[in-house]
Amino acid sequence: MALRRVTKMGEPVLRKICKPVNKFDEKLAQLLDDMADTMYEADGVGLAAPQVGMLKRAVVIDVGEGIIELINPEIIETAGEQTDIEGCLSVDNINEEVTRPYFVKVKAQDRHGNEFEIAGEELLARAFCHEIDHLNGILFVDRVEK
Ligand code: ZN
């Protein structure tokens, strides 16, 4: 088990566009394992690579249905709308309502480079959006309706 330090709002790494992953090697596997450990330790439902200081398009999510690893994820379909309280392991002491699609379908690669598609509703759809935002330097606080 290897925990990594979670970066916090204000650190530049959280505001950069992450680079696509093109090497599906042991280093990527280690990063994903460490991200999962770090997420579970912090009781989070998702973690993106820039939250452990890595500018790579890699995400881990677990909304209680097992670990989902997304490499180079892209949202390819959305439907509906939901508004609920959101928080982030990189943003301390702020929980605010954010409106997201109710249904989200994502195209991604697994840790071996194989392409797949996955769809989710409710919390999982929200997690897809929140974590993929991180890969583009966007934090949920940017999406709070003022
Ligand atoms: Zn977050």
Residue 84 Cα to ligand 1 middle (Å): 15
Residue 46 Cα to ligand 1 middle (Å): 7
Find the mean pLDDT for residues 46-59.
98
**Per-residue confidence (pLDDT) for residue 32, from 0 to 100:** 98
Residue 40 Cα to ligand 1 middle (Å): 14
* Cα–Cα distance for residue pair 92/121, rounded to 1 Å: 26
Predicted confidence band at 145 (pLDDT cuts at 50, 70, 90)?
A: confident
Q: Is 113 exposed, middle or buried (0-12, 13-18, 19+ CB in 10 A)?
A: middle
* Cα–Cα distance for residue pair 14/99, rounded to 1 Å: 21
Find the mean pLDDT for residues 103-107.
98
Q: Is the confidence at residue 146, as pLDDT, over 80?
A: no
32, 56, 59, 144 from 41: Cα distances, Å:
14, 21, 16, 27
Question: Which of 86, 97, 115, 131 is the catalytic position?
Answer: 131
